[in-house]
Amino acid sequence: MKRVRPGWILVREKARQRERDMMRQMEAQLEAWSRTSTLGALAAAVAHEIRQPLAAIGASAGAAQRWLSRSEPDHGEVDQAVQQIQHDVDRAERILRGVASLVQQDTPTHQPVHIHTVAAEVRTIAQWLMVDNPARIDVLVSDTLPPIMGDAIQLQQLLLNLLINSVQALQDSDSATRRITITARAGTQGWLAIEVRDNGPGIPSHLSARVFEPFFSTRPGGMGMGLWLCRRIARNHGGELGAQSNARGTTMRLCLPVLDPAHCPAGQ
**pLDDT tens for each residue of 52-106:** 678 778 888 888 888 888 888 888 888 888 888 888 888 777 667 655 655 555 5
The pLDDT of residue 267 is 46
**Secondary structure class of 5 (helix, strand, coil):** coil
Q: Which of 46, 78, 104 is the last residue of a domain?
A: 104
d(CA 98, CA 129): 13
The pLDDT of residue 25 is 65
Mean pLDDT for 123-150 is 85
Distances in Å between the alpha carbon of 213 and those of 127, 177, 217?
Answer: 27, 30, 9
Q: Are residues 85 and 119 in the same domain?
A: no
DSSP secondary structure letter of residue 208: G
The pLDDT of residue 195 is 97
Domain that holds residue 231: 106-263
Residue in 233, 227, 165 with CA at minimum distance from that of residue 200? 165
Q: Are residues 136 and 244 in the same domain?
A: yes
Q: What is the CATH number of the domain that holds 170?
A: 3.30.565.10
Evaluate whether residue 11 is within a structural domain: yes
What does the pLDDT look like over 178-196, one tens digit per residue?
999 999 999 878 899 999 9
Q: Say what angle helices 6-68 and 75-103 make with each other, to 10 degrees.
A: 170
The pLDDT of residue 12 is 64
Q: Which of 57, 83, 104 is the last residue of a domain?
A: 104
> What pTM was computed for the model?
0.63
Q: Are residues 205 and 160 in the same domain?
A: yes
The pLDDT of residue 4 is 47
Give the distance from CA 168 to its chain's centroid: 14
Q: Are residues 140 and 94 in the same domain?
A: no
